[in-house]
């Protein structure tokens, strides 16, 4: 079980992308907050019969707390850790949307352009054949596409045949998997119907436009630049033993590989742009909570992410992020299926929380943006608030016998989600918005950074140099001015330094990497 300020274990020696707000809290408050949050979360997860889970929060756009609970693999007695990958279900859609938004902002497509401009076949709702389906409609689930009676069989074929059937076989009348109930008898662009097929088609369009296989496109655009060890292709995972098994009643439902990587498909037989569902863009991203937090932080920071060497990486421009968060559809009582009061407003690949009574409530007094997920016993939630720079991720890989998810008492979320949200609201969000963070000054007066055994301190006459670890402990202190300081005794990781010079304090951060 890992909690509180054990950040280096979570992000790895170089996987520390933001300064920690909690480092600047008083030590007594840190301990009180950590113990309360840990105890409450553990109680909630035990009461709901959860097998394993990770809860991570970001405070003022900086990682704050991570709590790991239970087991990722019951058969092999492997505990959930900071390295655990989860198949995160529909949060994958938000990540897929980022891929399409990047293409559009680069000028390769327009959100309100007909998708048929990019396909060798016509995708149309036969009840309204003159209304073009656009990229925006796919992103907002207003295309009138529906996961009809043949969708499950087509999805199974997409995963298990090589080459997979062309996606036109389920979208175009006359196709082997086509059924009239793949489309609703509604006007495209006006009616909301949450449907996975929308994002299978988005991935197919990404391939058709970029001429790059979907998993590789997302790797090049997002995962590699941000040093994310995650992928829509299981073959990319560095350690298959870290992949969480998904359970219902403690019975494996998915990703039960027992540490053995499955054989890769014969991708040479796959035609790029034929069927992006092969890579499960609607729900098949496997990623750790920490790496998923990098994507959430990027969304909170106007499209700028930070990689392991602390470089700013522009993934999307601010206008694209704004368009993802803007209201594109709001439920009015008759213009869609709001999924038992859960989906009442939608952006571009983003679930917009409206705090409707007995509905989409995360924090009842705060607007949030993000996405939920559910598949094979897994539940997942990623939500953030722009104004308060707060976000969190909650992922569980299933439940023990007798612990099936119960509907919440006060919202459209499950009870375990309600309970986790309540704990985070009380112990994580509230302190975050009340903090005044003393952000260190960044400068290039100390180098190299990252450092190995020696650092150069180009500050002239200084009277005190101090380095602290992530728990605030002093690990190096000197009052003897020198241009060279040995850090050979320090472990790899992130540290904070303070230089006192002429009664002024210069502060910053440095990575030790070897």
pLDDT in tens, 67-78: 999 999 999 999
Could you give the CA distance from residue 335 to residue 340 in angstroms, rounded to a whole number?
14
Question: How far from the centroid of its chain's Cα atoms is residue 469's Cα?
Answer: 27
Distances (CA, A) of 163 to 119, 158, 173: 19, 8, 21
**Of the given ranges (72-76, 183-187, 447-451), which has the lowest mean pLDDT?**
447-451
Reference 140, options 323, 283, 329, 354; nearest CA is: 329
Pick the residue with more confidence: 91 or 402? 91
Domains and CATH numbers, the chain: 1-389+403-439 (3.40.710.10), 446-512 (2.60.40.10)
The residue with tokens 């989860």 is: 86
- Could you read off the pLDDT of 79-112 as tens digits, one per residue? 999 999 999 999 999 999 999 999 999 999 999 9
Pick the residue with more confidence: 448 or 238? 238
Q: How many CB atoms lie within 10 A of CB 300?
A: 21
**CA-CA-CA-CA torsion sign (163, 100, 210, 301):** negative
**CA-CA-CA-CA torsion sign (470, 475, 480, 482):** negative
* Spatial CB neighbours of 284, under 8 Å, sequence gap ≥ 6: 87, 92, 232
CA angle, residues 115, 302, 15, in degrees to nearest 5? 105
Whether residue 132 is predicted with pLDDT greater than 60 in this model: the reply is: yes
Residue 160's pLDDT is what?
Answer: 95
Per-residue confidence at 41, pLDDT binned at 50, 70, 90? very high
Pick the residue with more confidence: 383 or 64? 383
- Could you read off the pLDDT of 311-339 as tens digits, one per residue? 899 999 999 999 999 999 999 999 999 99
Which residues are bridge partners to 52 per DSSP? 70
- Could you read off the pLDDT of 120-129 as tens digits, one per residue? 999 999 999 9
**CA-CA-CA-CA torsion sign (270, 135, 223, 384):** negative
DSSP 8-state class, residue 336 = B
Residue 14's pLDDT is what?
Answer: 27
The residue with tokens 């007066």 is: 445
Per-residue confidence at 514, pLDDT binned at 50, 70, 90? low
Average pLDDT, the chain: 89
Rg of the Cα trace of the chain? 24
Pick the residue with more confidence: 247 or 489? 247
Pick the residue with more confidence: 153 or 462? 153
**Of the given ranges (60-64, 148-152, 193-197, 353-357), which has the lowest mean pLDDT?**
60-64
State the average pLDDT over residues 160-186. 97
State the average pLDDT over residues 174-183. 98
Whether residue 309 is predicted with pLDDT greater than 80 in this model: the reply is: yes
- Could you read off the pLDDT of 248-279 as tens digits, one per residue? 999 999 999 999 999 999 999 999 999 999 99
Q: Residue 28, SS3?
A: helix
Pick the residue with more confidence: 95 or 21? 95
Whether residue 234 is predicted with pLDDT greater than 50 in this model: the reply is: yes
Reference 392, options 25, 62, 8; nearest CA is: 62
Cα torsion 314, 320, 322, 325 to 10°: value is: -110
Whether residue 387 is predicted with pLDDT greater than 90 in this model: the reply is: no
Strands 52-59 and 78-79: unpaired
Q: Directed axis angle between helix 91-105 and helix 197-210, to 10°?
A: 30
Residue 475's pLDDT is what?
Answer: 87
Phi, psi torsion values for 134, nearest 5 degrees: -115, 170
Q: Assess contact for 358 and 341: CB atoms under 8 A.
A: yes
């Amino acid at each position: 079980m890992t909690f509180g300020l054990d950040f280096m274990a979570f992000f790895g020696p170089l996987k520390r992308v933001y300064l920690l707000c909690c480092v600047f809290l008083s030590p007594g408050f840190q301990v009180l907050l950590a113990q309360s949050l840990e105890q409450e979360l553990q109680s909630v997860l035990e009461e709901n019969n959860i097998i394993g889970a990770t809860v991570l929060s970001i405070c003022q756009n900086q990682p704050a707390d991570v709590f790991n609970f239970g087991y990722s693999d019951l058969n092999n007695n492997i505990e959930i850790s900071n390295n655990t990958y989860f198949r995160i279900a529909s949060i994958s859609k938000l990540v897929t949307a980022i891929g399409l938004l990047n293409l559009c902002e680069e000028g390769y497509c327009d959100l309100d352009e007909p998708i048929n401009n990019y396909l060798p076949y016509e995708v149309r709702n036969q009840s309204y054949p003159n209304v073009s389906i656009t990229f925006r409609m796919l992103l907002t689930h207003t295309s009138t596409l529906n996961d009809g009676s043949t969708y499950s069989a087509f999805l199974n074929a997409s995963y298990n045949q090589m080459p997979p059937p062309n996606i036109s076989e389920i979208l175009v009348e006359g196709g082997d998997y086509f059924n009239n109930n793949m489309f609703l008898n509604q006007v495209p662009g006006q009616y909301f119907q949450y449907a996975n097929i929308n994002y299978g088609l988005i991935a197919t369009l990404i391939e058709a436009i970029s001429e790059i296989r979907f998993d590789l496109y997302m790797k090049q655009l997002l995962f590699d630049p941000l040093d994310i060890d995650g992928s829509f292709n299981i073959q990319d995972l560095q350690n298959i033993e870290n992949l969480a098994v998904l359970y219902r009643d403690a019975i494996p439902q998915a990703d039960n590989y027992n540490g053995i990587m499955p054989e890769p498909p014969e991708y040479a037989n796959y035609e790029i742009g034929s069927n992006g569902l092969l890579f499960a863009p609607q729900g098949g991203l496997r990623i750790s909570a920490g790496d998923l937090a990098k994507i959430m932080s990027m969304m909170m920071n106007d499209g700028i992410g930070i990689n392991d060497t602390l470089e700013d990486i522009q993934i999307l421009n601010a206008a694209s992020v704004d368009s993802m968060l803007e209201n594109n559809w709001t439920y009015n009582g008759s213009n869609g299926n709001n999924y038992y009061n859960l989906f009442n407003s939608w952006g571009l690949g983003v679930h917009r929380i409206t705090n409707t009574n007995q509905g989409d409530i995360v924090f009842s007094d705060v607007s949030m943006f993000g996405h939920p997920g559910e598949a094979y016993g897994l539940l997942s939630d990623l939500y953030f608030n722009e104004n308060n720079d707060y976000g969190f991720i909650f992922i569980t890989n299933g439940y023990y016998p007798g612990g099936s998810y119960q509907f919440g008492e006060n919202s459209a979320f499950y009870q375990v989600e309600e309970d986790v949200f309540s704990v985070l609201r009380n112990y994580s969000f509230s302190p975050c918005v009340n903090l005044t963070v003393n952000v260190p000054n960044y400068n290039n007066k100390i180098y190299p950074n990252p450092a190995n055994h020696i650092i150069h301190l180009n500050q002239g006459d200084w009277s005190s140099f101090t380095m602290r670890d992530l728990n605030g402990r002093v690990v190096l202190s000197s009052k003897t001015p020198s241009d060279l300081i040995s850090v050979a005794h320090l472990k790899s990781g992130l540290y904070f330094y303070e230089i006192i010079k002429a009664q002024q304090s210069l502060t910053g951060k440095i990575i030790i990497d070897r």
